[in-house]
Structure 1
Amino acid sequence: MSGNGRLTRRQRRRLRREHGRPGPPGPYALLPWLLMGLGSFSNLFQGETPSPWIGGAGLLAFNSLYISVVFRGFVKEKREARATYVLLGAMAVVTFGLAIGYGGSWLLFFPLLSLACGTVLRKRWLVVTLFGLAVSACAIAVWRGDSASTPWTLAYGTFISGAVTSAILTLSETVMELRATRQELARTAVERERLRFSRDLHDLLGHTLSVIVVKSEAARRLAPRDMDAALSQVADIESVGRQALTEIREAVTGYREGSLATELDRARSALTAAGIEPSVRRSGPPLAPQTEALLGWVVREAVTNVVRHSTATRCAFEVDGNPERVRLTVTDDGRGEAAAPAPTPGIGGTGLKGLTERLATAGGSLTAGPGPAGGFVVTAELPVDAPGEENDDPASPPTLGR
């Protein structure tokens, strides 16, 4: 679609080829209506028209202007150009001159002029112009008294020709634009699902691999001294791997639900294996699934950063809630802001930035930065019953890394 939301001729042709459905009629569909001028053409050859050279020139000029205006009317850029309105005005001058000068069959040029107006004009200007043409055609027919049809029939035909032409073209163009919009929405849905899937896999694998590496290192250190403890770490690695496979399957199907309690349990295990002492304190009312999922991702992101960057020895998780809002605070005693390369001012790096945007969509907030006593502090606040995101999975994670 063009920048103004309208379809170009090339796009309309492509859509018709792709779908095999009728689109807006082309300008050639309006050319057969020029046969209405055969009566005037016949009068010229039969010598019934005074000054036949003037009449012939007028007939040639009218047909040329009609074809030019109709073809320009099917291209939006040309239809709205000043030259098109100049040609339409010249066509109106020729029509009035021939109708007043010759009457009879020449009055049938009024419906043709109306039809050309229907291809160019829209909305209020179209109604005003068609009404003026209909009244003028009726008045000239009454004044001349030699119209090929009754004045009222001529007036009605003049008005309805332009109105129906404009209505058909507008409706057809709207249908084509709706088809293009539907295709665009389908492409957007596919892109959104790809983005969700890539984010989920990135976060799931990043966190899981970090835990596996930490536990593998712990098992290697423990093996020479305590084989049972080392085997326990290996069992944890197996459990983490199986859980990762389950989460990846759920991510593929799009039905993965996060759990704050589950993430806190995993955080304890990962931090303990990394030699970091965890502590958890939780209070407050039960949380909605969307809130649980979002806070679970905050815990996962915070733990991943603590294990990767902080060199901390302790990490505390505190969940406080009231009937309206809940707050999660994650505090470590590590290197603070220096633990994350190139942090984003005020909210950390890309991972925490993505979480900030996601929580803001759900009516919450996220702050992250050095703590007053050192270390790094991540604070998330959400409504107890946080709404899900309208066009995305509320449990879908942002990109990893501070």
Structure 2
Amino acid sequence: MQGLRRMTVLSLTLGLVLAWVGPLSTLGDPDGQSRLSLLAVGVPGLLVFSVLYVRILQAAVAGTGARGEIAASAVVGVILLLTQDGHPWSWGLLGPAWASGAVLLMGRSAAITTTAAAIAVSLLLTSPGVDPGPGFTDMFLSPHREGVLPVLGAYLGVSATAPWANRLQLRFWQVVRAAEEGKEAQARLAVTEERLRFSRDLHDLVGHSLSAIAVKSEVAAKLSGVDAARAAGEMDEVRILARQTLKEIRTAVRGYRTVDLAAELRAMTAVLEAGGIRCTLQMPRDQVPEGAATLLAWVVREGTTNVLRHSSATECRTVMTVRDGSVVLTMTNDGVEGVEGVEGRGGTGLIGLSERVAAIGGTVTAGPGGPGEFRLRATVPLGGG
């Protein structure tokens, strides 16, 4: 995502190209006074305009506001248009350049109005009849060769197109960012739903038993001074209930920690494909023992979470093989950017998983695979778990 973010900001600098190429074409003007004005006022003004423009782009990509920068850059642009003599194809490009950034933080109607106003101001403050001189404008239409109207027509076409090309590029970035946020939300939702399920199960299992223990303990306390035998009987029942509750809790936790490998693989495929990631599975014919399968299911779950939350993958391949008394599960995806490793920053999930697998004599490795790939591999003894 960071790479795409930088590319988006770079692609939105079309306005800066317009802002600089047009005015710099006047360097070929033989009028020394015009050249002096460009170097003394124009270039410093363009530098200030560029800094403000870049800040507008960064705000647009980040989804924040930049009203101050938009207003300040508009003032700088008007000052430059008032102080510099130019043709629409030179300083007149400054208005469309400003609009290319400003419209990124506006709605459609406001963007149309802003683009039209920027073009109108640029035309009012420049003279279509002034010869811009040789250089950049020779690639377009010289007013002395073709007349004013063709020059204005071409100018209006470029000026109206540039801001909307930028809006289209920004819209593409917003769609990609929304898709990434959706994948992260899916992963968080899956974790939350699992926690809610376990909390419901735990409440249903022990809520009644703990209430009964509390009531019987109160009865035993009241009877202890008047009927010791009955009080002892009540406490015996409390002891039995406590043991039964402890057994139920252990059973619940054991069931929670036992994850079905086949179900986890189905869930992985459904979630990743819903996020636009193509999945391929290659499974062995022989059935994997329950203990090893449970550990591998946790590997699949952790690998799926990493793909969803920490990569820009478009494909994920999962291969499981049985050899030399062990089962090897390999998950490979083509989105290595930002994926946490066992020894990488913050990789607590994979670290905990590797410790659990190591406890039964297995191994977990995570890191680069082939070019542009990230690979998670777990080796679990068939008798493990």
TM range (shorter): 0.3 to 0.5
Larger-gyration structure (1/2): 1
Normalised to the residue count of structure 1, the TM-score between the two structures is: 0.42
Normalised to the residue count of structure 2, the TM-score between the two structures is: 0.44
